[in-house]
Each structure stands twice: as C-alpha cells, then as structure tokens.
A and B are shown apart, each in its own frame.
Chain A
Amino acid sequence: MEKFTLEIIQDALVAAGDEMFKTLERTSMSPIIYESLDYAVGITDSKGELLAQGNGVTAFLAALDSVVKATLEKFNKKNPLKEGDIIIANTPYAGGGTHLSDVSVIYPVFYKNEVVAFTVNKAHWTELGGTFPGSVSTVATEIYQEGLHFPFIKVKSEGILNDSIIDVIKGNVRLPESTLGDLFAGIAAAEVGAKRVISIIEKYGLATYKKAKNDFLDYGERMCIEALKEIPNGIYKGKTTIEDNGFGEGPFPIKAKITVTDTEFIADFNGSHPQVKGATNLSFSGLVTGCRSLFKAITTPQMDANGGSFRPMKVLCEPGTIVSAEAPSAVSVYYEVLVTSIDLVWKILAPLIPDKLPAGHMRSICATFISGIHPDTKQFYIQAEPLAGGWGASAKHDGNRGQLSCGSGESYNIPIEIREMRYGIQVEQYTFHNEGGGYGEFQGGNGQYIDYKIVSEGAYVTAAFLGEKTKTWGMNGGHDGSYNYFMIIKKDGTKQRYSLGTNIFLEKGDVVRCVTATGGGYGNPSNRSEEHVLLDVKNEYITKEEAKEFYNVG
C-alpha cells in the first residue's frame, strides 16, 4: 500500500529535522543555544509550507515557514535563488521575526535544478552588537540600538562564502568567534538536512516525495481539527497588562477575544495598547508564533508540527500595537510580551479545558545578562540565560518546581560548576524559596532563588522580570502565587528590588538575587488532604504557619 510509503517518507523528514537539531546543538558556540536550546530547525517545501520542525523552545513555531516565505518574496522570479546560495535574516517585523538576536539561516535545496525544499534554522546568537552586551536592552527606543540587522542577505552565493559579510560581523560584535561559530553551526545544520532531503527524493522519487508532503500537511490539519472539537465552542474575552516599558511608564493593556468553532480558532488582539517607547514590543509575526504555541498546547502537543496543523488558526490585530509593533520600534525584550500574550490566551481558556492547561505559571523568561571581565582569564564574558521557577497546579497534580517558562521548552539551566569556571561568577545559593502563595487543593510549585556573587572587579547586569507587581494566577478557587523580581544586595547590605534594568553596575562582592515566582494553586485549599499538607511542611515547601492559616492543619 502506498499509504505506508508516504508515512515512512514523512517520518524520514521528521528524523532529518531531529538530526539538524542535534548538529546545531553540538556545534554552536553560544550557551543560549547549547544549554537553553533557544533555537529551532525545520524543513519546508518549495513554497515555504512547514514539513517538519525540531524545537528547543516553543517560541519559534511560526518562525521557520514564515521566514522562507519572506525569502521567496525577495528572491522571486526576477531574482531567483541559485544552487549553493544561503540566506541569513533577522528582521523582527516580517517573516516570523522576533528580535535581532534570533538569526535564521535559509538553505534552498535543489534537485535536478529545481528547488524542492528549504532547510532552515533560527537560533539566538549571544552577541550581535548594539548598545549593550548581549544585544538586549530594556531602555532601547529604536531597533538601531539593538545590534546588526541582516535583511535577507546571501552569506553564500553559489557555494562561495561572502567574506565581506563575515568581516562586517567580525567588526561589529563583542564576541566575534562565538557569533561566527553560531553562523557556521547554522550552516552545517542546514546542509545536513539538505543532504537527507535529497537522499529521500533519490530513494522514493520526486513525485512520491511531493505526494507524501501534501498528504502530511492534510494529516496535520485533520489531527488538529479532531482535537479542536474537544474545546467548547464560543467567544471568550480577556485582558492583561505589560507592567512597565523600562522607563517607569505603564501599565499597558493587551486585549484578546478568542473565537472557537469546530473548525476554526481565531485570536483577535485588536484594541491592545499602541506600541511603546522601550523594547517591550512584540511584532505581529512574534504574536503569531506565540498563538501557535498555545494553539498547539491545546490541540496536538505531542504531534510533530507541520504547516497543515496551523491551518485552522487565525490571528488578527491592527498594525502598530504593543503586540504588532512596526519599524523602527525597539523589540529586544519581545519575549516578555510574547509570554504575556500566551499567558493571556491561556488564562482565558484554562477554565474550559483544565486537563490541558494548569493555573498560572511564572509568566516571564526572567532572562538575565551579566557581563564583565573574568577574574582569572581576563576575558570579556556575557552570561545570558533564562531562569526556572514555579508552575501552576492543575486539576490533577501539584505545580512543578524548577521548570523554565512556557516560552522555553527543551531548554536547560547552566550548571553551577560550568558557570563558575566560564564566567568567574560565584553562586551563593540555588534553592526553592517560600515567598508564600499557590495554596489550593493542588499546590502551586515553589519559585526559586539563585544568588550570583560578583568576584571580578565590576560587572553589569541587564534583566527583565515582568510580574514584579502581578502575582501568578490561581484557578478554580486556588490562591494566586507570588512575584518575579531581581534584587541587588550591595556589599554594605543595602538592597534594591527591580523588575527591569539595563547595564546596572555591580561592584566586587555585590550579589544579584534572582527571584522567580511560585505558581498559582488549583481548587479550594480546604480540599487538600491533611497528609499532603503535613508532607509539604515536613519538606519545608510551606511553613507550619501557612499550614494553619490556609489549610487549617496543625
């Protein structure tokens, strides 16, 4: 039966995606790629329809197919791509763009002089120049402050590396070896994928390959529509805010209206606040990516993503809002707005599908960038990473502790032993905290502390912890959780609490304490068994006093 052959081709495409994923991870130079796995790889057909995607994070779901489609708009019939060309792009406002740090490598795959597929990847490069180390700033007001911009340019033409581009990159970034290492890793991954696609076509023939990919896209759509039927039809509305734009202004509202039918899912963000001064803006293509990940979570979380599986979903929003920002607005902290938008749709839908969505989680990437000179090697370093925190409880289980936000995924924390050697920073504690909250029949997961002590002669910290004024939300009678923030504890013991901060100077001996929130609780706390409450006390997840006050135990 031909059906099985088609399915085997589809699995082979997914396997090729997995291989590209591993190649990038194992060869890259940025911890944010090989530990945080802040990247995605994929294969599209010749028109940019997504066939297979490997993800380290959830945030790139609309990135790969859109960036190929945008490539095809520039390199159209008048100016066609040639065999051996490789394009790079990081435009935030189009083609699945997010911020400049996320760079796509796009590789047209030729078979007998015809483009038959694209292999593509998008990864967060640690350094791309701009005003501040790590190319992220909470006080940027225009994109020009945020680093180098590659507006769909050829890094290779017909197989020949463009040395001028390499020189431009070298001359404009703070860690040229790492940045170029990431470029070559991206190219290597794309080339590996291309080889596999060609071997599939050689084995099964071009016509069968084309049939398999069309069949695969339809299959994705079918799977999604089946799952969509399980969500109650209706129109649901909600509102959230971005607390701060980095200039002490705010809050700025984001609105969403969700329409669910048996065959469609429409997320309408019209009426959200206009784009803001500062870098807490999200481009429309970033918004689509966020909606796709939430849509995937509630429909087919375990299925390999393909273009067909997003056909039932639409995103609407007028241009120029905080979730559909246009050039030249700054967007380097887009990820906080992205996670906030996901959280908004999540909160609207969770009561309808509590088996798919738990109570509110930390809702921030809590990304920190610490830069300075290593005390031993005297080399310039940037420690860039997302942080883990507490997740919300659900109808069936307590919230997870020690998990990165919904914007991350198969991302890893940086081991202390590696961190201390690589950056010369000293970690004072890495532990769950108990700042209260999350009570319920099921308890929200505890947030955590990580304390960085600066042992070099001075360093700088940039970070964005939204949720400094808003607790994570509880659900169906469960209590809210706690806050995200970071605190600078000076040598003399004085403390200052922050939500957003850019390039704050730290002296030797200062400590940066990063605090991530406890997740929201689920259900009425009085329904929690005494046994569970006492075990939580024994484990010091909650105190005796909390057990008495919120659970009436002890």
Chain B
Amino acid sequence: MRVATDIGGTFTDLVCLEFDKNTGKPIGVKVAKSDTTPANFEQGILNTIKKGTINLQEVDFFAHGTTVVINALTEHKGAKTALITTRGFRDVLEIARCNRPDLFNFNFVKQAPFVPRYLRFEVDERMSYKGEVLMELDMKSLEKILKKCKEENVKAIAICLLHAYKNPTHEIQLKKRLLESNISVEVIASHEVTREWREYERTSSTVLSGYVLPIAKKYLNNLENNLKEKGLKNTPYIMQSNGGITTINDVKTNPITMVESGPASGVFGAIALGKLIGKNDLIVLDIGGTTAKCALVENGQVKITTNYKIEHSRTQAGYPIQTPVIDIVEIGNGGGSIAWLDQGGKMHVGPKSAGAMPGPAAYGRGGKNLTTTDANILTGRIHPDYFLGGDLQPDYQSIEKAAKPLCKLLKGEKVDVAKGILRIANANMINALKLISVNKGYDPRDFTMVVIGGGGAMHGADLARELQVSELIVPPHAGVFSAFGMLMSDIRRDYIRTNVLSLAENQKNAIVTTFNEIKEEAISNFEADNTPSEKVKFTYYVDLRYAGQEHYVKVLLDRFSEETSLEEIIKHFHQEHKKQYSFALDAVVELVNFHLVAEVAVDKPDFPKMFITNKRVEDAIFDRKAVDFDDLGVHTTPFYHRDLLEPNMTFKGPAIIAEKATTTVVTPLHTVYIDLYGNLILRIDN
C-alpha cells in the first residue's frame, strides 16, 4: 500500500493506492479529506488516516507534503533568529536590494527584516571573489555574540559570509565552533542552503531557513514518532519544492526546501499522468480558492528556478529564497476572488479573496461580495446539488444581494455582470498562461492542458479554447491531485553552484571537473542516506548568457560526458536565446551556474485503469437546465454524474460533468472522450 498526504491551507488530503497481493497490480484509489489543524498539523494527517481506515502496518511507502514552513514564514511565527556576517556587512539583510516596486508611492513602507539589527553580528574575516582568503577568520568576538544570543533567548543562528558560495571554509569553521559551544540553538550556514552568488539573496535564504528550522524539526520528529507508533515500518519521505521527495533527515538540515511543496507535487502528478498517456508537453493549471498557479512542461521536464520570493507582489519586494522551486506563475485569481469596481468604474476580479470564511456569497455565511464562484452559479454552470461537494445548497438570496450594487453601477442584469466577472477572471488567467508559454517562445497549440484543483475544470474549457491548446485533460481526483503527485515523485536533489567561466577558450576540463566535484558531493549525501551511488541518475544543466548580460538561460546538457563538444553547448544556447528573446548575438558566451540534478527512482505504481461495465452514457445524465456559455449562447444542457462515466464513452457539448470535488464545464464547441484511466479529454473537433 502506498500513501501520500498533503497539508493544504484549508484541507489535509490523503491518497492511498492499494495493490492486489498476488499480482502486484493496483486495484484502487482511496481518498480521504479532513480539515487542516494549524495548531498541530500532524493531527490532521492522523485524522485522514483514521478517516480513510488506513492500516499503517501495511503501508510500504509514505510520502508527505506540508505547509508548516510556508505558514511559519507568512505568519511570521518562526523562531527568534540571529545572524552572523562578515565585518562591515550586517546591514545587507536590511538594506536588501533598495528597490521600490510601488514606484510612484512616495509614502512606501519597506518590509521589515526577519532579524532585527541588534541580533545581527559581525566577525572579522574576508574572502575574495575568487575564494582566496584575504583575512583569516577571527573567533574572538564569538564569546560576546553567544552571550548576547543567550540573553535574548535566540533559538537559531544563521551564518552568511561574503563569497562563501565560492569558498565556505570560514562558514564551516564558524559553525563547528558554535556547535561546540554548548548553547542550545540551531545553527545553519549559507553554503548548506545555496551555493549561488548574490549576498543579500543568500543571507535572506539562510535566515529564513534558520527561522523555520526549530519548528520544522519539531514537527518532523513528532510526525515520524506518531507514524512509527501507529505501525509505519519505513521512514516517511518528504515532498520538496523542486518536485522531488527526499528523506526526512535531509529536510531537517535545510527545511526551506519544503517551502512550495504543494504546487510542485501537483505539477509532477500531471507529468506522471502525461507520461502514461504519451503526452509530454503540458500546460498545467491549478485553480484553488484564492490563487491560480500554472507551469509549463516541455518534454516531460519542468524548469527549476531559484528566483523565488515570498510576500512578493506588484507593490512589495518580498523576501527572496534561493532554493530550487519549480517555475510556477501564480496569480490572485481563484474561486473566492472578489469582483470590485475602482473609482474610474472599471471592474476587477481579485486578488482579494473571500477565502473559506465568509467565503463566496453563495455559501450564505455572510459573504457580501460577488466572487468568481457566484458568477459560475449565476450562469448555471454549477448544479445546486453538487455545490460544495453536495453538502450545501447555494444561497441565492445572498448572491442576489451581493450582485445588486454591481448591477446598479454597471447598469446591467446580474447575469451580464456574472459573465463579465468570468471574462475578466479568464483574461487574468490567460495572461498568466501566456507568461509561461507564448511569452517564452512556446506555441500553446503544441501543448496539452491539464487542469487540477477545485476550480481548474470550471474554467479549463474556456481557457483551452482561447489559448488554442490541442486538448484539455481533467484527471480523476483533480481535487486532491497534489497528494496524488507525491506518489509519482522520485527522490531528487538539485545542486546549483555559481562559478563564472567564459566559454571563449576551451574550458571543457574546468566544466567536467566542477561537475565531478558536485557529483561527489551528491553521492556522499546519498550514501549518508544509505542509497548506493549506482542508483543515482544525474542530469546536467548550465546557466549561460552572453558576456555582459546579467540574466541567463538554462540549457540542458543532454547526455553530458567528457566527449560532449563545447560548440554543441554554445549552439544550443544561441537557439534557446533566440527562442526566448527573438535574437542571438555574435558575442562571447559565459557560464554562470552549474546545475546538477541527482535523482533516485522509487518504484512507482501504474495508474489504476478503470473498469468497463458497458454502462450507457445516457444513464449518467441526471438533469437538464439552461446554462449561459457567454458568446456561445444559452443552451439547455445535460448534467452528467462523473461517477457514472467510464472508458470509451464520448459525447458532445454543451455539457456539465459534476463530481464531488469539482465541476467540469464543456462548451458547445467541445467533445468529451473518456480514456482508460477515467480522464476526461476535451477537444474541439473540426
């Protein structure tokens, strides 16, 4: 039995794959959901295990994704953290990058640093940019620093010294000394978090990892013990932001790698599903209550970036975290997004969300604003019996009330306003989807779109039509897809190291040497986890740019070896640059970062196939009602139970397919096919 659990903002999900004991073939999927328990996250997991009647003694593989890190960060509820820097640079953390994203707001308020100045300390030492020691590390100020930390009840110390990405020797010495000092604090040094340059970003990443370290460690220890007590034999795996899982001990040393684990696993689930059905170029869209997230998958690969920030917006700089995160674009548009008018009479949808409480007006919990969900109800696209999993009937009076002020100001009927909300919400999502596709030189017609999350299937057909993707897939269990994705993930670690080299002269040896060094580090990490080196698969990337540029393009070195020719790499870069930015230059090419991906495949189950019982498609229809498809007109539309659909069925739109966790809207232009795995496949046939 294989189990994955995912803690989300509102719900904790569990997905369990069961196998036939004799054949080893998967026989079914079990899904359980319970409320997230913020005071004590592991309780929510135990609740889902109970709800799903899972016997942990029979579980061979247990994967887990958690929001414990991102919650501690966004709520600023981490541990009191101190920082030690090179002398002269303790203010780097607060000076930050000096930018003002809200640039015409002269009364702007900058975000406060996570470590106040009185807890930022300096030591004498200095490395050059080449990693040479300009000044030896002097430990004499340490005593004072430790005394102060004790007085101030500091729980974690972050160390970030200049140029430690190039030569971490002083950080290693400093950390060793701190650990020997018998003070009960966690210590984390920047080279353990990132080996990329840019001192502010590295300091920020280290501070934030330190800030969540005590909490994450406590949480993981409790979880491990609780699961063990309940009979789990093997230690659980933990989902990371790079789309891979890793061992629990690994995340305990640098917990910041868990920061975006939820969205990452959703995308990886889609990749695994795509591989199964032979679709390797995907646009994945996950629409939740507050946000929509999207990612592009090319040839079964999603890009990894370290250019990640929390609390970043159009008006705030945010806090950077240089940790490998899959390249996702996120916008403030979900089911709960509120429609509002500005002073000039223009309508906007989001980013403010009604959340779960009070929720959309339709929840009848006092929500006074019209939201995207309400607009979907007003156009007839959600069946009242399937609203909120069928637990609740929509509160039409409350919707009416919320729509009134907008109708008055816009001088329109409520259904016109509703259509306007859907158009604007869809346009916002189209802009986000273009950011990851058209704007990066990709043609959406070459892609399959996979929609997940509670709202993905509601909007997918309209978006797929506008973007002209070849087809749209609504997988089964789209509502708990993140947990599902974890069952499909491999163990993965990303090693990224800045080492600027000009590719003008032959630098092949230097490249091979550096990659070998990183490889050795990776192998020793895996061996520490009792994974033999021959199981580790390596993928090589380099970040390249034209000399003089700052930003780079990530280039995959396919089957890299000592035989790989440098000209091939350079040629590949010119092509990528032209694809993304429409021009290539006759200039020197520079290598900035080495990026090695080390993966260990875990045995993955097959997706369970659906049984065919020769049901009739007509029998799945449970209602017919008028649905407004905006520019495609109002149609009397059949409503289908998804549970009664099975492989090989096909029918034409318009249609609405209802299931507990979501609703799929099929426009009059689309035709639906159901494949062997129960995926809904929507196409516009000519």
Chain A residues near B315: list those with CB within 8 A.
302
Q: What residue of chain A has the Cβ atom nearest to residue B105's Cβ?
A: A301
What is the 8 Å Cβ interface bit string for chain B, positions 404-440, against chain A (1 contact, 0 not)?
0000001010001001100110011001001100010
Cα distance A178–B547 in the bound complex, in angstroms: 9
Chain B residues near A56: list those with CB within 8 A.
103
B555 to chain A, nearest CB (A): 15
Is residue A55 within 8 Å, beta carbon to beta carbon, of the partner chain?
yes
Q: B96 touching A417 by the CB < 8 A rule? A: no
Cα distance A191–B441 in the bound complex, in angstroms: 13
Q: What residue of chain A has the Cβ atom nearest to residue B431's Cβ?
A: A15
A: interface residue count bin: 35 or more
Is residue A265 within 8 Å, beta carbon to beta carbon, of the partner chain?
no
Is residue A530 within 8 Å, beta carbon to beta carbon, of the partner chain?
no
Is residue B90 within 8 Å, beta carbon to beta carbon, of the partner chain?
yes
B467 to chain A, nearest CB (A): 12
Q: A357 and B118 in contact (CB under 8 A), knowing A421-B500, A431-B90?
A: no
What is the 8 Å Cβ interface bit string for chain B, positions 95-110, against chain A (1 contact, 0 not)?
1111111111111111
Q: What residue of chain B has the Cβ atom nearest to residue A8's Cβ?
A: B427
Q: B548 touching A400 by the CB < 8 A rule? A: no
Q: A406 and B106 in contact (CB under 8 A), knowing A222-B344, A388-B95?
A: yes
Is residue B153 within 8 Å, beta carbon to beta carbon, of the partner chain?
no
Q: A416 and B110 in contact (CB under 8 A), knowing A409-B100, A410-B100?
A: no
Q: A413 and B98 in contact (CB under 8 A), knowing A184-B583, A431-B90?
A: yes
Chain B residues near A415: list those with CB within 8 A.
197-201
What is the 8 Å Cβ interface bit string for chain B, positions 201-220, against chain A (1 contact, 0 not)?
10000000000000000000
What is the 8 Å Cβ interface bit string for chain A, positions 4-37, against chain B (1 contact, 0 not)?
1101100110010001001101111101001101
Is residue B76 within 8 Å, beta carbon to beta carbon, of the partner chain?
no
Cα distance A431–B347 in the bound complex, in angstroms: 45
B130 to chain A, nearest CB (A): 8
Chain B residues near A27: list those with CB within 8 A.
549, 551, 581, 583
Q: What residue of chain B has the Cβ atom nearest to residue A215's Cβ?
A: B346
A46 to chain B, nearest CB (A): 24
Interface pick from A72-80, A499-507, A536-544 = A536-544
Q: What residue of chain A has the Cβ atom nearest to residue B91's Cβ?
A: A431
Is residue A223 within 8 Å, beta carbon to beta carbon, of the partner chain?
yes
Where chain B touches its partner, the secondary structure class is: loop
Is residue A3 within 8 Å, beta carbon to beta carbon, of the partner chain?
yes
Cα distance A31–B98 in the bound complex, in angstroms: 15
Is residue A402 within 8 Å, beta carbon to beta carbon, of the partner chain?
yes
Is residue A310 within 8 Å, beta carbon to beta carbon, of the partner chain?
no
Q: Which B residues between 628 and 649 are near A, CB-CB below 8 angstroms? A: none
Cα distance A515–B583 in the bound complex, in angstroms: 41
Is residue A358 within 8 Å, beta carbon to beta carbon, of the partner chain?
yes
What is the 8 Å Cβ interface bit string for chain B, positions 160-203, against chain A (1 contact, 0 not)?
00110100000000000000000000000000000001111100
Is residue A439 within 8 Å, beta carbon to beta carbon, of the partner chain?
no
Known contacts A220-B344, A404-B100, A413-B98; 5 additional CB pairs below 8 A are A4-B424, A27-B581, A177-B547, A409-B100, A426-B128
Cα distance A367–B199 in the bound complex, in angstroms: 22
Q: A15 and B105 in contact (CB under 8 A), knowing A181-B548, A415-B199?
A: no
Chain A residues near B162: list those with CB within 8 A.
416-417
Q: A7 and B346 in contact (CB under 8 A), knowing A184-B583, A415-B199?
A: yes
User: What 4 pairs between A and B have smallest CB-CB spacing?
Assistant: A409-B103, A429-B88, A402-B95, A388-B98
Q: What residue of chain B has the Cβ atom nearest to residue A293's Cβ?
A: B104
Which of B109, B424, B551, B587 is the one whose CB lies under 8 Å from A26? Answer: B551
Q: A7 touching B102 by the CB < 8 A rule? A: no
Is residue A545 within 8 Å, beta carbon to beta carbon, of the partner chain?
no
Q: B581 touching A412 by the CB < 8 A rule? A: no
Is residue A356 within 8 Å, beta carbon to beta carbon, of the partner chain?
yes
Chain B residues near A420: list those with CB within 8 A.
128-129, 163
Q: Which A residues between 373 and 418 are near B, CB-CB below 8 angstroms? A: 376, 388, 394, 397, 400-404, 406, 408-413, 415-418
Is residue A272 within 8 Å, beta carbon to beta carbon, of the partner chain?
no
Is residue A235 within 8 Å, beta carbon to beta carbon, of the partner chain?
no
Q: A404 touching B99 by the CB < 8 A rule? A: yes
Q: A402 touching B110 by the CB < 8 A rule? A: yes
Would you give 11 A-B contacts (Cβ < 8 Å), ordered by A?
A23-B581, A27-B549, A56-B103, A222-B343, A226-B344, A397-B109, A402-B95, A410-B100, A411-B98, A421-B129, A540-B117
Q: A34 and B551 in contact (CB under 8 A), knowing A15-B431, A400-B109, A539-B117?
A: yes
Q: What residue of chain B has the Cβ atom nearest to residue A31's Cβ?
A: B550
Which of B197, B582, B583 is the one whose CB lies under 8 Å from A417? Answer: B197
Q: A8 touching B423 by the CB < 8 A rule? A: yes
Cα distance A417–B585 in the bound complex, in angstroms: 27
Chain B residues near A15: list those with CB within 8 A.
431, 434
Q: B582 touching A401 by the CB < 8 A rule? A: no
Q: B129 touching A417 by the CB < 8 A rule? A: yes
Q: What residue of chain A has the Cβ atom nearest to residue B578's Cβ?
A: A188
Cα distance A29–B590 in the bound complex, in angstroms: 13
A187 to chain B, nearest CB (A): 8
Chain A residues near B200: list those with CB within 8 A.
415
B99 to chain A, nearest CB (A): 5
Q: A403 and B100 in contact (CB under 8 A), knowing A222-B345, A302-B315, A415-B200?
A: yes
Is residue A58 within 8 Å, beta carbon to beta carbon, of the partner chain?
yes
Q: A412 and B423 in contact (CB under 8 A), knowing A346-B106, A430-B91?
A: no
Q: A357 touching B94 by the CB < 8 A rule? A: no
Q: A410 and B110 in contact (CB under 8 A), knowing A15-B434, A402-B91?
A: no
Which of B343, B346, B585 is the one whose CB lies under 8 Å from A226? Answer: B343
